[in-house]
Amino acid sequence: AQKITQTQPGMFVQEKEAVTLDCTYDTSDPSYGLFWYKQPSSGEMIFLIYQGSYDQQNATEGRYSLNFQKARKSANLVISASQLGDSAMYFCAMDSNYQLIWGAGTKLIIKP
Amino acid sequence: DTGVSQDPRHKITKRGQNVTFRCDPISEHNRLYWYRQTLGQGPEFLTYFQNEAQLEKSRLLSDRFSAERPKGSFSTLEIQRTEQGDSAMYLCASSSPRQLSGNTIYFGEGSWLTVV
């Protein structure tokens, strides 16, 4: 069965530091996609970054990058130069046909 | 605004009443999804439409729940005879498989339901 595991329930990070949010996955499908979403307290689920299983390079989107290690089945999110506005819940997800399989999320708090 | 929009954003209802949520997806997206999310949890899949066809329903979607997408554009999610356990945020999302970044799913701001 497909599964996403986020082992960090919460993290505190000093402003301007880089932060890595962990995500491991389990699937037997040869083709899959991995996503990271940010959910601030307002509730909206904001798409951050996508990595396809056949992509040769790690995905990057501005301050976000995805450290994709296929053999280890990990897809960690790296946020460089963290900002106070980065404080939110972060979810890792994997597509499975028509739906997303979600991790439990990591609550990130940026300290000034 | 060209994102996914949901209405109402917040709804408080008495147990036993019916409620309906509306979702307007991104205009060129042919896939539409409903998810439910409770506090401290990730979203749970409810149902999925491709154009006007409802192709999959989760077992979470009891017979009190019904979703429609009559013309392949907006969708409604109705909950009949609401129960306190229905209190959650209902998220709508849409996607298009033609996008370069895989089947990236974009979410609306959610509709918060509180059943009292």
List, as one string, the DSSP characters of chain A.
--EEE---SEEEEETTS-EEE--EEE---SS-EEEEEEE-TT---EEEEEEETT-SS--EETTEEEEEETTTTEEEEEESS--GGG-EEEEEEEEETTEEEE---EEEEEE-
pLDDT of res. B99: 54
Question: Out of A44, A98, A104, whose CB is closest to B109?
Answer: A44
The answer to whether the Cβ–Cβ distance between B105 and A46 falls below 8 Å is no
3-state secondary structure of B85: helix
Question: Out of B40, B48, B110, whose CB is closest to A98?
Answer: B48
pLDDT of res. A1: 80
**pLDDT tens-digit map of B52-88:** 999 988 888 889 999 999 988 999 999 999 999 999 9
Q: How many CB pairs under 8 A join A and B?
A: 55
Q: In whole angstroms, give the CA distance from residue B8 to residue A82.
A: 33
* Other CB atoms within 10 Å distance of the CB of residue A15: 13
3-state secondary structure of B84: helix
Residues of B in contact with A102 (CB under 8 A): 42-43
**pLDDT tens-digit map of B26-62:** 988 899 999 999 988 899 999 999 999 999 888 888 8
3-state secondary structure of B86: helix
